[in-house]
Amino acid sequence: MFRERLDKKFIRYAKTDVRTIALPEAEFSGVMIKAAEYCVKKQIANIVLIGDEQKIKNTFLDSNFDGIKFISPKDYENKEEMAKKLYEIRKSKGLSLKEAKELILNPIYFATMLLEQGIVDGVVGGAATTTADMLRPALQIIKTEEGIKTVSSSFIMLGKRRLKIGDKGVFLLGDCAINGNPTSEQLADIAVATARTAQKLAKLDVRMAMLSYSTHGSAQGEMVKKVVDATKLVREKAPEILVEGELQADSALMPKVARVKVKNNLWKGNANVLIFPDLNSGNIGYKLMKLAGKLKAIGPIVQGLTKPVNDLSRGASLKEVILTIAITSLQASNLSEEERLLRKKEEKLAKKLEKKAKKQKETFEEEILQPKQEISQNEPVQEELFKAKKEKNNNELTTNDKEHNAEIETKGQES
């Protein structure tokens, strides 16, 4: 049984602080429309569909758009101001105002500018768009987090609870989707960002392994040196993180091997965050784990940005899109764990009171209103019975009177 509860937790937590998410592929992706319907109906997120409203509604005739907002780039009243803002952001890179006005009509650039200006809280796309096209606007427009210069990605891996990797089968991998051959500085950024994702989303106490084909000097080479240097930088950037490197995969994940190979006695061989040295190993590694290990992969989750933009795998399922929208909402939320739990309790109490009030109303209707209705319904019957009884009494009186009169007449005749 896979640990589905973490998936449900993301959905449940997103409902405690509903955020507004823009979907830039609305004009040509049916799965995005279905996800929009579901998220609004279940109050997971407020949805803004980017594109021409009439075109979208004519394309997806069977869809229910109640509660969903539409914004069309070409009809947006502030598009000129938005184009100027984009020009200001990118003019140092050679972008002209004319080019900015053309780019702003692109749904992904437009959605990213809505995010930059705080009109929406997050952007989700990629179901029908390449990763490069989906993330390019975000990399150009949205600033990176403090202390991080590199935007990266991570996957949350879910396995069986009895799996001896991670925390009851939950662990994170980074970077498996964006950075091809990162420098030691970039690798350190990837590590710190992945640790933050692990803490914020998966609620893990991070135990991070910087992976290599060497364990503490067992092999030499430029790739090994990069990981060693990156490990040192992580300790400088985020001394609160428990990190060890360079480590081979078995030294990272197997306590018995770690006791033999690892020089640091504090390292127990129980990593729950694994950082790959490059995109080749990261992408291959996560897919092998997913397929051969029968693990579930949530992601890629884009990290390192001050505002969340997430990229889906092309051909993503409806469940994957909904989950990514929920994760994006959580990334955009500033609620603490305590505040989120408090809201959850308040919502639960409100539902309980609503249920109690409904039950009291039903009881009132059964005990008070229904008998009155029955009395009201029985009134014509009772009236007929009364008339019949009255008529019977009158008939009896009439008969008695006739008998009495007959008796008097008889007595008169006798006398």
Distance CA 57, CA 47 (A): 15
Q: At what angle do helices 131-141 and 107-116 cross, to 10 degrees?
A: 30
Domain CATH for 86: 3.40.50.10950
The predicted pLDDT at position 399 comes to 57
Residue 409 forms part of a structural domain: no
Residue 71 forms part of a structural domain: yes
Lowest mean pLDDT among 102-111, 215-224, 241-250, 356-365: 356-365
For residues 175 and 268, state if they share a domain: yes
For residues 300 and 320, state if they share a domain: no
**Smallest Cα–Cα separation from 174: which of 158, 157, 189, 155?**
155
Higher pLDDT, 41 or 167: 41
pLDDT of 307 above 90? yes
Higher pLDDT, 399 or 263: 263
Residue 371 forms part of a structural domain: no
Q: Which of 161-170, 190-199, 340-349 has the highest mean pLDDT?
A: 190-199
Lowest mean pLDDT among 82-96, 295-309, 317-331, 393-407: 393-407
Q: What is the dihedral of CA 24, 28, 33, 35, to 10 degrees?
A: -70
Domain CATH for 260: 3.40.50.10750
For residues 163 and 282, state if they share a domain: yes
Total domain count for the chain? 2
Structural domain boundaries, residue 127: 1-143+316-335
For residues 80 and 115, state if they share a domain: yes
The predicted pLDDT at position 2 comes to 41
For residues 117 and 1, state if they share a domain: yes
